[in-house]
Each structure stands twice: as structure tokens, then as C-alpha cells.
Structure 1
Amino acid sequence: MTFRAEHWGSRLFPLALLLLIAVAVWQWRGAAPISANLLELVPSGTPDALEEQAVQRMQEPLNRELLVLISHPRREQAMALAAELGKRWQQQAPFEKVQWAAQLDLGSLRQQLQEQRLALLPAAERELLIDDPEAFIERRVQDLFDPFRSQGLVATNDDLLGLSTLIEKSLPHIHNLQVDLSGALIAESEGTTWALLRARTTAGAFDGNLAMSVDDLVSQARQEVQARGGQLLASSGLLYSAHGQREATREISLMGSIASVGAVLLMLLVFRRIRIVLAFIPAAIGVLAGLTACVAVFGHIHVMTLVLGASLIGVAIDYPLHLLSKSWTLQPWDSRRALRATLLGLTLGLLSNVIGYLALAFTPFPALKQVAVFSAAGLLGTYLSTLYLLPPLLGKAEIRPRQAPMALAQSLIDWRHALLRRVPTPWLLLIFALFCLGGVLQLSHKDDLRQWASIPPQLLEQSTAIGRIIGTRPTSQFFLVRGQDEEQLLQRQQLLSKRLDTLVEQGQLTSYLALSQLVATETQQQRLRQAVGALTEHSGALTALGIPLTAIAAEVRHLQSLPTPDIEAVLAAPLGEPWRPLWLGQTEDGQVAGLISLQGLNDGSLLATQADGLEGVKLVDRLGELNRLFAATQVSAAELKLASCLLIFILLCIPFGVRGAARVLAVSLLAALASLACLGWLGQPLTLFSLFGLLLVTAIGVDYAILVRERVGGAATSLLGTLLSALTTWLSFGLLAVSSTPAVSNFGLTISIGLVFSFLLAPWAGERQAEAQPT
């Protein structure tokens, strides 16, 4: 007699499936909603909106800029190749701006040097002019006799006191780039001339299609340059993103294909019917449900989620295999009869698996939240498909599986009984405990953001080489400085700059950029304006050269009449270009904020104390914050595991009672402990991904213990069904263990080992069946 749930489910499920397909088609109607942004995998770290804005500002060059260096045995040919490539790329859609030559507006530069002299004059020169005007004039006289020190963009007649020249000569050099006479940007390194090409893209590095397009253009350019006898180096977050997407696509295709083909071949080999391939449809629907749910919740799906989600195939195929495994004892085989016999085990297995996956949703890591939603929705889709789609597809098809697997299962049971007769369970438990203790004691902890991505050595080598040639070593740390107004902001940056200067002198820091290096405060400009007014009284050395006093007085009056520019006015002019990203402007609370970027930091720990005692100054160190978060999350991972185990225990108490539920759960917990110990014995580090993998070991291991404990079709049949399920699951998670991404590999290895022990320990959950009855 058909159950009411079967009656309505079989009619509503096709409609739900059509709706799922329609939503999936709509979600993928344009560009694929796939992201490769590594930073999306980690928490945002802070609710401070200004700090988040600062982080995005500092990351923008990585996300949108592409640096290319081209060399050739002939210097002129290197510059010609760069110009040719730049002109071609300028017409390409991915690029917003391409620069291969100096694009200086000399007229605007001269105008800024003349109009903003009082604001741009370096601090040392400003203090000298204020404190010792005679020494300032005497040095000016010396400079006039030195053509190398007196020549600049502004002619001497237009800059009698040489302020513009002093500004021009004191601008910080943050790289080794030079401008060739032809205007090309070049860098010299170890006797080789490199021509620079810098491109800025129209969107961020983690726009998947754009990153792939840029990577293709770079590869094409490299081949052309090499064919003409040159060498091309390239560095950008775009290239890392493209590599990550290609690697993820390759792994998804490889893992998904192997897992799918392996599962199909296993079913064909064991059950010997072509029609049995239809049992794979629920797993495919589950993957589609996971993709659709993930895009619906997060707006996109990350490539790492796809890689981790490829393992869902191995878990999802378990449900059809549980039904098919009953064909060894349920003859003639009927899919509906098999479903009713295994429905309790399937449902308990689904709920325990979903609890394990959803526990990941409560972690602070977006990557694991996506995996949780993807897997939970996927398993639910597979479960419903097994209930309402698989029986009509298979019907009462005659299935007569091979008897060799059943004989193997019976042999495994006999071997276990023989082992227990020779070595009682307490002794086995003692050996197991010693094994686990030895492994756990050898565990080492390691969590690093670099484990979350596959970093190709060739790209890393090129980035390092470009940094060495150009002379830049940017760091991920920077300082965020707030002030009530621009005056206070610049004062605080000046105080911090004095401390950073000490690090530069000690060789711990190569250089830094701060707004206070470029712009003087309004108070300092006013002091300088007053000091300039007294220069006529100390200009004897200039008049001795024949310079009329009237000319000096006219220059002084002109300087005093110059406006007092603010930060935005200075940054808007050509000289402000390197400092523009450091200005955040006015904040929501009415303050103003600016950044100080760092270059060539040797010891990051030295930065922690630089902001001590400086109000409004904060060191922003995202990597350091993440490392601290990793350590804190290890505790939350243990709490999540405890909570998920408690929920699973409560669930199991309903059909098995307290003692039976404890026995089933104990088996999966021991399997998780054994997996942890094996990591220690294998010399693998304990990471957050391995800790979260243990959550899944417990959830999936409970599924195995439930099936063996229920003994539907007999002990051998239950064990054989568990073995078939375990083989497909091992295949999926085992493939994750060979991923090129360290975090994914560690995740897959942890689960694979844990599931091996889950299968080996599962028979202990079926002993003392009297305890399985509800109390």
C-alpha cells in the first residue's frame, strides 16, 4: 500500500525539479557566477568601515594593476617591444589604461612647483629656513655655483630662492625606474635594461572572465617577445587569479570525472545492469541543488567551494547504493520495498550528515559557510531524488548482483570474529588508545592564508624578480591615521614618520610613503611664510653676487602671496600621484583619515610598537589578524564539534535509545580521533581545515554505524552496503587529498583517513542489539 508521503511526493517532486532547473538556468544565464577571490575565503576581520575601506584601497593595485618588464640584448629593441605591446593593449577591452612611457605634463609640474612651494618644501629645508635664514641663503649661493644642484624644471629667474629645485631634488625615490631620453620607462639590473609596461584593468582581479583574458594576453605577449629574442616578466593578482581558476577547473573536472566514472563502474561491476546507471541521477541532481542554493544565498560560488564540493558526489551516491545493496537478500528486488526497508537509516544518515555540514556554517570563514550550504542542499536534493525519482526509474528491474562481494563481506565478519576471539575488545581498545596517543603527541599546528591557494612557483619567481629589478617590496601591513582635521592628521603622521625613520636608518625598513612627506600643515606653512618675509634682512650673500635687493624683495612678496593649499589640492596636481591612494578624505564621523604605506619590511613584529602612545594611529595587519583568528577559531571548532555531536546524539536517541545512541556516536568519535592521530604519524600539520574535516568524519561515520547497526538484510548485507558507500566516498575525498591547494589536500586527507576508521569500527556499533531498543 502506497504511503501518503509517497503519493504526494511523487507528484510534487517533478515540479520542484523543474523549478530547480529553471532557477539554475536563470542564475547561469550570463557570466558564470564563480569567484576566485582569495580574500573572500577569510572573514572581513573588523566591523570598522573605514578600516575596510583602507584595506580595499591598499589592495587595489594588486587587484587591478599589471606590471610587465621586457628585456632584449639590444636596449632599443626592449623599449620598442614594450611600446608595441602597450599600443596594442591600449586597444584591448580588459584595460582601462596602459603606460609604457613617461606621461609628464611639464607645464603642470612647473606650475605646481611654483604655486605650492610653501606647502611642498621638505621639513628639513623648512626648518633650516625658519631657524637659520642666513645658512639657508649661503647654501643657496653655493647651489647657484653648482649646475647639478641648481638646475631644475623651474628656471632660476622664476625661483630665485631655489625652493622649487629643493622640492624636486628631495622627492622620495620609491623605485629604481628611470625615464629614457625617448620617454620610455626603464630599469637597470645586473647589466640588463628592462622596459616597463604598466596596465590598469577595467575591473578587479577576481572578475573571472577578465582575469582569464589578461592571462591569455600575457601568455601571447610572452611567446611573441621570446620569439624575437627577448624576455618578458609579468606580475599581478590577475595572473594568480587566472591560475587559481584554471587549476580549480582542472581539479573539479578531474575529481568530478574520476569520482563519477569510478562510482558508475563500481555499480556496473557489482550489479551487472546498464540500467543501474540511472542510480547516478540523484547524485547529479544533488550537485545541481548545491550549486543553485549556494549562488542563491551568496550571489556566487567560490572555486574552492567547487573543488571541495566535488567530494559531494561520493557522499550523495551513498543513498542509491544503500537501496541497491539490499538486492543481495531482497529477491525479487523491488526498489520501493528496498526504500521502505532502508528509509529510517537513510533519513538518520541524511540528518547526521546535514548536521555535520551545517556546523561549518557557524564558522567565521565564508569559504566553509559556502561548503556547508552547498553540501547540505546537495544532500537534501539527493535524498529527495532517491525517495521520489529513483523508484520510478528503476521500478522492479531484475537485479542479481555478483555474489563475490557478499562472500567478501561474510569473510570480513568471520575475520573480525576470529580476531575478537584471540584479542578481546578491551585489549584492542588499549592498543587503539596507545596508537592515538602517540600520533596526537606528534601533531604540529600550522595555519597560514597561503595554504588556501595554489601558488605557482613560476609566477612567484617572476613577482620576486620584478620587485628586485624595480626596487619595490610592498608589504601587507600599513598604518591608518585619523585626525579631527587635516592639521591634526598631518601632525600625527609626522610623529609616526620620525619613528619609521629610525627603522629605515636601522635597515629594518626600506622606505615608506606618508602624506606628511609631501604636504606641510597649515601652521607650518604660515610659519614658513613669516620666515620668508625676513629673508631680505639676511640676503647679503645673494646681493654680493649682483642680485638686486629689489628682485629678492619681489620674490619674497610673491612667496608670501601664494595660497595655502590643502591636501586635496596638492594631490590633485601631478606631483601628488604616488600619494593619492593614501588619502581617504573625510570619514562618517567628520574626521579625516590617511594611510602610510611601507616598503621592504624585514621584521613585521617591529611595527607593533610604532603606534604606541600615538592617538589616532593604528597598525593594520590583516595577515596578523588572520593568524590570531586562526588560533581563536581552533577553540570554536572544538565547540562546534561538541555541539554537532550533541545534536546527533539527541537525534539517535529517538530510534536507538540513550545507550544505543552513545554506542553509535562513540564509533564515529573514535574514528575522528584516529584520523587526528594519523596526521601526527604522517607528519601532517593540524590546520583549521583538518579540524573542520573532523566534523564531517563524525557526521559521515555515524551514517556507517547506523547502517551496520540496523542490519537490514542481515549483517553481511549491511556491511557490504556500507563498504560500497565507503568506497565511493573514499574515492571523492581521497582525490581531494592530492589537490594542489594545501588546505584542500589537508581537508581531504583528514576525512579520507577518518572514513577508513569509520568503516573498520562500524561493526562495534551493531553489537549488543538489545541496547538498540528505545528505553
Structure 2
Amino acid sequence: MPSPIERWLPRLFKLGLLLLLGLGAWQCRDGWPVSANLMELVPQARADATRQLAEARVQEPLSRQLIALVAAPAGGDSAAAARQLAQRWQLSGLFATVQVDIGIDLADLRARLLANRLALLPAAQRRQLLADPAAYAQRRARELVDPFSSSGVVPVDQDLLGLARLAEQALRPGGAVRYDLDSGTLLAEHDGRAWVLVRATTRDDAFDSAAPARIAAQIASDRPALAAIGADLLVAGGPLYAAAGRSQAVAESGWIGGLAMAGIVLVLLLALRRWRALLALAPVAVGLLAGTVACVAVFGSIHVLTLVIGASLIGVAVDFPLHWLGKSYGMPDWRAWPALRRVLPGLTISLAASLVGYVALAFTPFPALTQTAVFSAAGLLAAYACTVCQLPAWMARFHPRPWPPLLRCAEAALRARERLADRRLALGIGGLLLAAITVGGIGRLNVQDDLRQWLSLPAPLLQQARQIGEITGITPTSQFFLVRAPDADELLRRQARVSQALDTLVAAGTLQTYDALSQRVTPQADQRDLAAALGDLATRPAAWRALTDIGVPFDALRRELLALAALPAVTIDAAVQGQAGERWRGLWLGQHDGEAAGMITLQGLRDPAALAAIAQTAPGVTLVDRSGELNRMFTATRIEAAELKLLSYIVAAALLCLTLGRAAAWRILAVPLAATACSLAALGYLGQPLTLFSLFGLLLVSAIGVDYAIFMYERIAGAAASLVGIVLGALTTLLSFGLLAASHTPAIANFGMAVALGVGFSLLWAPWIRPPRQA
């Protein structure tokens, strides 16, 4: 008859489960708290407010902007097709802004060009005006006699010296995109077709809402609508990447969890041959629920990658009831509560050893590992609680029917191990050969970590992004320069020095183009110096003889020179206003902590290594290379995770010494250590890289290896029954974690393969443990 404690435990568990369900429902009050934002899983660099603002500016287009190119058949009206797409997007209600018609205000542009002539004058022409005005006049005279080279937005009679025309040229965007006066759109010519640019901004952040899925569905419906009129559509942007990542993660978690569950059901029915054995899946459901609720409570949401990996927790959470139920193979009178009392010490030690590893991992600075550790630790605790507190009450009258062939196979395997153990010489030679093979495999390991391993975008999306880059000539990069200076003028001078170094990369083909504030405006002191020099040139008619020789009155030239000399200096704030300054507006960060700050963004970078030296060209220049920083953090975190895991081994050894004795500790720990070494060697021979995620998988293997070793060491109900228990546990773990190896995301596939190999080797080495009395 159950004791009072055994009667109260199920009641307490039901109360706790009710509270957990209530908390989970409250967390979903505003929708599913699932995130697809990859940046939530990577460490955030310790940065001041200025750098955080700069990174947010660079990140914003990725998370909220869509870029589309629309092209009608050769000779067709691409602008009309683009306007049809824009209308469909506006009617969908998914976008805050949709822009296809630029609608340039020529009067405003003309006024800004006239007012900003000195601020926008390129450095080469400014130097020529100051050093050799006669040569400048000769070049301008040649332009004036050629009507095609002197035309511009500002009429010639208002721009005799051509400074406004030079300013207009400086405003033109890089790449192949140009403004088409006839259609009023931005277009690019490619392979004889005109591609019209459509830009849209989403209402919500692409990674923090359900909008990406609706946006992807909208674009899927737009394609046939445009195809009906013969137009092609290319689209790229963060919302589409978020939708693809979310749908893939949900699909993978669904089929991985479904197949794992189906396989585990089959294992339970074959091993125990009772339908009630399926109640062993209850700890799995409780564990997944607890892991999800814990992640949302700690981090505010749960990432889709954590869900995919979390689906594999099924195979570990079911180990607790399987070890308990597996004792029926050695206990003919198996009953729920008495059997639990016999295996409870082993289950508890196993749980503690596993939690030590997860707790250690939770202290790494990498949110991806921290979130997975929290999920797994909470899930295992809940699965243990369900197994210990509730499952025996549900199975109080359960009588399993062990499958005799499974027991006979376990006994045969143990007899074969005993015969091999008696052949000391062969065993020693085999051990040396295995050690040599293991060392050779570890030597072939390739350590590799890259943020791109976390992504698995569909090929059509990547192809469209590449096509858009080829057509427009614009390929944004994640690297940029953050420039700071005591004042705005010094900021522009420092940016100009960086720009000179970048020009060498552009000339060498290493960099496509770049955007800098120094392209848009020159320092106010330089503007005033130029204005004073032009005022002085108004008194020197000989300098302008080339223009007067072609009929330009010197009085008109003098009036323009005096008008230029009277222009007020243009500030950065004024220069980035209006349509003319839109390209550079986001680069100006303003004044922060007594310093002026601005960015230089890059396009089409082919060799990031070339940027490090450029950052040294001027003081206050910082190269922000987030992807490079993350890859370096991967390496540091991998080392730190290994150190923490080593510490967890020490703690686990102390725990085992206190509970099972010193003789047991080294025997038990030998299993996960051997399994980890063999797994590393297998990864090397298979050509799989050692990544942060495969290392995390091997850390999980250590917990599983300790689990198997403890039960083989204790041998409750006999060695054969214990082996059956760990075989059943290994099968369920392989069914869940092994399926991750088929994931389309490289990091997850690498993780799944590492765990599958480790579980296989743990199952291979655990039966070699002998209790001290048999040593």
C-alpha cells in the first residue's frame, strides 16, 4: 500500500502542473512568444550608446525593408508593372510605406544644389580652383561649348562655373541604378531589360511578429499576377528571410518530433507490450512544456532554433521512465512504487550529474547555449518530477510484459563481453589499436565556426538576392566604419582620409563603392576658405580668360563669384535634409558625449581583411565587423564551454564520490570520456567540422554517458535488465537527436550527428563497467 508521501506526491505534482499550464497560457496572451531573430542567439558586444545607435541604423533595413525589381518583357512598360506591384502591396496593409515613383521636386533640388555648391564640390575640383583657376576655367569652357556635357538640373545661366553641375554628379547613387525622367522611377538596365526598383518598409520588425509569413504569402500571390502580364519579379529582404527561417524551423521541429514520437511509441510497445506503457510519454510532454515556459520566463521568448533542438529533448526525457520500466526485465514481481524506490537513487544521481553540465553551460556568454541549457535543464527537472511523483500513481496496477528476445540479446551481449574481457592480450592490443585510431581521427578534426552555419535559406531566396545585387550593382556588407571626432569639421576630415584609402580598394576591385558623409559635405572651415578664395578671384579677370574668350561676360562671372563668396557654410544637419540628402541621412549620428559621430558604409566588399589597416588611417576610426567579432566570440566561447564542462566533470566526480564512492567515480566517468573521444575521432574521419554546436552536443553526450554508466554500475535487477534499460534509452535518444542530423540548418545537423555518435559510443562502453566487488 502506498505510503502517505506516495499519496501526496501526485497531488503536489498536479498542482504544480496546473500552475505551469496557467503560466504558459498567460505567456501566450499576446500570441506565440516564438522569435526568429538570429541576433538574439549571439552575444551582444559591449558597446557605448553611439555604437549601439550605429548598429541599429545598419540593422534596420535588414529587419524592416523589402527590395523588389520588376521587369516587363523587352520593349514593355516595366514602370507600369512595378506600379501594379506597389498597388497590391499598399492594398495588403502589410507595409508602412511603398515607393516606386520617386517624385523628385526639381525646384527644391535646384535650390539645394545652388545653396550647397561649395559644400558639395569634390575635393579634386576644389583644389584646382584654389591652385590653378585658369585650368579650371579652360575645362569649364570646353563643357560650355559642348551642350551635352554642360546640361544639368540647374540652368547654365545660373551656374556659369558649373559648380552646381558638379554637385549634382556627387549626388548620384552608386551602382547601376539611375533616375529615369520619363517614368519618374529608379531603374537599372540589365541584359537588354529595364528593371524598376520598388522599395517597401514593413509595419513591424520582421523578427518580432507574425507578419513575415503573411508577407511571404503576399509575394507568392504577386508572382502569378505579374507573370500574367509577362513581367518578372525579384524580391529580397529581412522579412522573407525571417519567414523562411521560421517556417523551416517549425516544419523541422514538427517532423523531427513526430518521427521521434512515433519511434518511441513503437519501442515502448515492443519492449513492454502494454498500451499503458505509452504513459511513459507523459514526462516528455511535461518536459517540453516546462522548457518552453522557462525560456519565455527568462528570455522573454523562445527562439525557433531552440524549439528544433528542444524537440530532441523527447529522447532524453523518456530515459527516466524507461530505466524504471526496464527493470521489469529483471524483476518478475515488478510494481510501480517499489520499483521506483529501488531506482530512485540512480535516477536522482543521473539527474544531478546532467544538471551540473547544463548549469555550467548556462554561464557561457553565448545566448544560443544559454537558452538551450535553460530549456534542457527545466525540461529534465520536469520530466524527472513527472516520473517520480505522478507516473507510479498512474501505473499502480500496471503489469509490463517484457519481450524475451530483448532480454536474451542483452544476456548474450554481456556473455560476449565477459569472454572478451578474459582475453587480456587481445584486449590490450585492441585497446592500443583503438587509441591509435582515435588519436588519428581527432588529428583530422577541422575546427570551424561561422554565423552562416546557423542559416539555411532556400535556394530561390539566395538566387534572387544575388540577381538583385548583379542588376543594381549594390551589395550591402555587414562591415562599416564608425568615425568620431571632437567636432563636425574634424569628423568630415577624418572621413575624407578614410575615403582616400577606400578609393584604393575601389580601384583594385576589392570594394564596389561606399557612402561617407564627406562625399556630401565638406568642412565648414573649408567652405569658408573656398568662398574667400572665390571672392578674391572676382578681382582677377585674367584667371577667367578661357571663359571670356568664348563670350561669357566677365561681369556675369564676377557676379557669380561674389554670390558664391557670400554663400553661408552648410552644416551636416542641413546637408542631409531633403531628397538630395536621403542617401547620407542615416550616416549622421549627431553629437554624443561631446563628440560628433558618423558612419561610412560599404558595398560589394570582397576582402574584409583589407579593412583592418584602413581603420588606422585616422584617429577616432573604428571598424565595426559584427560577423568577424561573432566568429571570434565563437572561438572564445568554445574554449570557455570546454573549460566549464571540465569543471562540471570535477563537480560530477565529487558528487559521485560522495554518493557511490571513489572507486565508482572513475569507472563511471570513464564512459563519457571514452565516448567523447571516440565521437571526436568519428567526426574527424567523417569530415565533419568541430563547431560550437557539435561541442555542445558532446557536452550533452557526457551527461548521457554518466546516466548509462550509473545504471550499469548499480545493476538494479541485474546486469541484463540494466543493459535493456540503457538500450531502450539509447534507442529513443537516437530517434530524437539522430534525426537532427537530417536538418537543413548546418549547425543543427552538426549537433545531431555529434549526439548520435556520442550516444552510440556511450552504449558501446557502458556495459564494460563492473561494480567494485567484481573488479
Q: Which interval holds the TM-score relative to the shorter structure?
A: over 0.9
CA drift of 1:664 comes to 0.3
Residue aligning to 1:676: 680
Q: What is the rounded CA distance, in whole Å, between the counterparts of 1:167 and 1:135 in structure 2?
A: 19
Answering whether residue 280 of structure 2 is matched by residue 279 of structure 1, we say yes
Residue aligning to 2:580: 575
* Correspondence for 2:530 among 511, 528, 531: 528
Residue aligning to 2:420: 419
CA drift of 1:369 comes to 0.7
Q: Does structure 2 retain, via aligned residues, the 8 Å contact 1:286–1:380? A: yes
Matched AA of 1:763 = P
CA drift of 1:489 comes to 0.4
Q: Does structure 1 retain, via aligned residues, the 8 Å contact 2:74–2:193? A: no
Residue aligning to 1:538: 540
Matched AA of 2:724 = L
Q: Does structure 2 retain, via aligned residues, the 8 Å contact 1:130–1:527? A: no
Where 1:91 maps in the other structure, the secondary structure is helix
Residue aligning to 1:29: 29
Residue aligning to 2:309: 308
Q: Does structure 2 retain, via aligned residues, the 8 Å contact 1:489–1:594? A: yes
> What percentage of aligned pairs have identical amino acids?
49
Answering whether residue 563 of structure 2 is matched by residue 558 of structure 1, we say yes
* RMSD of aligned residue pairs (Cα, Å): 1.9
Q: Which runs of 5+ in 2 are unaligned?
A: none
Q: Does structure 2 retain, via aligned residues, the 8 Å contact 1:482–1:489? A: yes
Q: Does structure 2 retain, via aligned residues, the 8 Å contact 1:333–1:397? A: no
CA drift of 1:24 comes to 0.3
CA drift of 1:761 comes to 0.7
* Correspondence for 1:622 among 623, 626, 639: 626
Q: What is the rounded CA distance, in whole Å, between the counterparts of 2:175 and 2:21 in structure 1?
A: 54
Matched AA of 2:429 = W
Matched AA of 1:574 = Q
Matched AA of 2:116 = Q
Residue aligning to 1:113: 113
Residue aligning to 2:208: 207
Where 1:686 maps in the other structure, the secondary structure is coil
Q: What is the rounded CA distance, in whole Å, between the counterparts of 1:237 and 1:30 in structure 2?
A: 23
Q: What is the rounded CA distance, in whole Å, between the counterparts of 2:455 and 2:553 in structure 1?
A: 69
CA drift of 1:217 comes to 1.4
Q: What is the rounded CA distance, in whole Å, between the counterparts of 1:688 and 1:321 in structure 2?
A: 30
1:23-56 Cα offsets, whole Å, 9 max, x none, are: 1011112221111122222212333332232222
Closer, same or farther: CA 649–72 of 1 in aligned 2, 3 Å: same
1:495-532 Cα offsets, whole Å, 9 max, x none, are: 11111122222222222111001101011011011012
1:665-716 Cα offsets, whole Å, 9 max, x none, are: 1111101111001101111111121122211111111000001111111111
Where 2:97 maps in the other structure, the secondary structure is strand
Residue aligning to 1:454: 456
1:163-220 Cα offsets, whole Å, 9 max, x none, are: 2112112335412123331223221112222222111112323134121121111111
CA drift of 1:563 comes to 2.3
Q: What is the rounded CA distance, in whole Å, between the counterparts of 2:29 and 2:677 in structure 1?
A: 45
Q: Does structure 2 retain, via aligned residues, the 8 Å contact 1:178–1:185? A: yes
Where 2:240 maps in the other structure, the secondary structure is helix
Q: Does structure 2 retain, via aligned residues, the 8 Å contact 1:208–1:245? A: no
Residue aligning to 1:584: 589
CA drift of 1:226 comes to 2.8
Residue aligning to 1:741: 745
Residue aligning to 1:751: 755
Closer, same or farther: CA 75–351 of 1 in aligned 2, 3 Å: farther
Where 2:717 maps in the other structure, the secondary structure is coil
Answering whether residue 749 of structure 2 is matched by residue 765 of structure 1, we say no
Residue aligning to 1:598: 602
Q: Does structure 2 retain, via aligned residues, the 8 Å contact 1:474–1:599? A: yes
Q: Does structure 1 retain, via aligned residues, the 8 Å contact 2:9–2:390? A: no
Where 2:576 maps in the other structure, the secondary structure is helix
CA drift of 1:598 comes to 1.4
Matched AA of 2:340 = L
Q: How does 1:39-188 map to 2 (within 5 A)?
A: 39-180=39-180, 181-188=182-189
Moved more, 702-711 or 61-70: 61-70
Q: Does structure 2 retain, via aligned residues, the 8 Å contact 1:133–1:538? A: no
Residue aligning to 1:517: 519
Q: Does structure 1 retain, via aligned residues, the 8 Å contact 2:120–2:170? A: no
Matched AA of 2:216 = D
Q: What is the rounded CA distance, in whole Å, between the counterparts of 2:97 and 2:213 in structure 1?
A: 18
Matched AA of 1:616 = G
Residue aligning to 1:695: 699
1:535-559 Cα offsets, whole Å, 9 max, x none, are: 3223453455555554444333332
Q: Does structure 2 retain, via aligned residues, the 8 Å contact 1:116–1:563? A: no
Moved more, 566-575 or 429-438: 429-438
Answering whether residue 610 of structure 2 is matched by residue 609 of structure 1, we say no
CA drift of 1:324 comes to 1.2
Q: Does structure 2 retain, via aligned residues, the 8 Å contact 1:352–1:700? A: no
* Correspondence for 2:497 among 492, 495, 498: 495
Moved more, 418-427 or 632-641: 418-427
Q: What is the rounded CA distance, in whole Å, between the counterparts of 1:747 and 1:543 in structure 2?
A: 77
CA drift of 1:12 comes to 2.1
Matched AA of 1:101 = D
Matched AA of 1:563 = P
CA drift of 1:434 comes to 1.8
Q: Does structure 2 retain, via aligned residues, the 8 Å contact 1:467–1:473? A: yes
Q: Does structure 2 retain, via aligned residues, the 8 Å contact 1:509–1:599? A: yes
Q: Does structure 1 retain, via aligned residues, the 8 Å contact 2:664–2:771? A: no
Q: Does structure 1 retain, via aligned residues, the 8 Å contact 2:683–2:689? A: yes
Residue aligning to 1:328: 329
Q: What is the rounded CA distance, in whole Å, between the counterparts of 1:207 and 1:92 in structure 2?
A: 19
Q: What is the rounded CA distance, in whole Å, between the counterparts of 2:167 and 2:616 in structure 1?
A: 31
Matched AA of 1:651 = L
Q: What is the rounded CA distance, in whole Å, between the counterparts of 2:97 and 2:175 in structure 1?
A: 21
Aligned residues: 770
Matched AA of 2:278 = V
CA drift of 1:416 comes to 1.5
CA drift of 1:302 comes to 0.7
Q: What is the rounded CA distance, in whole Å, between the counterparts of 2:398 and 2:7 in structure 1?
A: 21
CA drift of 1:14 comes to 1.6
Where 2:603 maps in the other structure, the secondary structure is strand
Matched AA of 1:519 = V
Matched AA of 2:137 = I
Matched AA of 2:288 = V
Q: Does structure 2 retain, via aligned residues, the 8 Å contact 1:46–1:52? A: no
Residue aligning to 1:346: 347
Where 1:96 maps in the other structure, the secondary structure is strand
1:696-741 Cα offsets, whole Å, 9 max, x none, are: 1111110000011111111111110111111101111101111111
Where 1:685 maps in the other structure, the secondary structure is coil
Moved more, 694-703 or 605-614: 605-614
Matched AA of 1:60 = E
Where 1:195 maps in the other structure, the secondary structure is strand
Q: How does 1:159-308 map to 2 (within 5 A)?
A: 159-180=159-180, 181-308=182-309
Q: What is the rounded CA distance, in whole Å, between the counterparts of 1:298 and 1:321 in structure 2?
A: 32
Matched AA of 2:524 = E
Where 1:199 maps in the other structure, the secondary structure is strand
Residue aligning to 1:654: 658
CA drift of 1:488 comes to 1.0
Answering whether residue 404 of structure 2 is matched by residue 409 of structure 1, we say no
Q: Which runs of 5+ in 1 are unaligned?
A: none
CA drift of 1:396 comes to 2.0
1:448-496 Cα offsets, whole Å, 9 max, x none, are: 1111111222211111111001111222211110011101101111111
CA drift of 1:767 comes to 4.0
Q: How does 1:623-642 map to 2 (within 5 A)?
A: 623-642=627-646
Matched AA of 2:748 = V
Residue aligning to 1:468: 470
Q: What is the rounded CA distance, in whole Å, between the counterparts of 1:213 and 1:349 in structure 2?
A: 46
Q: Does structure 2 retain, via aligned residues, the 8 Å contact 1:286–1:382? A: yes
Closer, same or farther: CA 561–13 of 1 in aligned 2, 3 Å: same
Q: Does structure 2 retain, via aligned residues, the 8 Å contact 1:89–1:98? A: yes
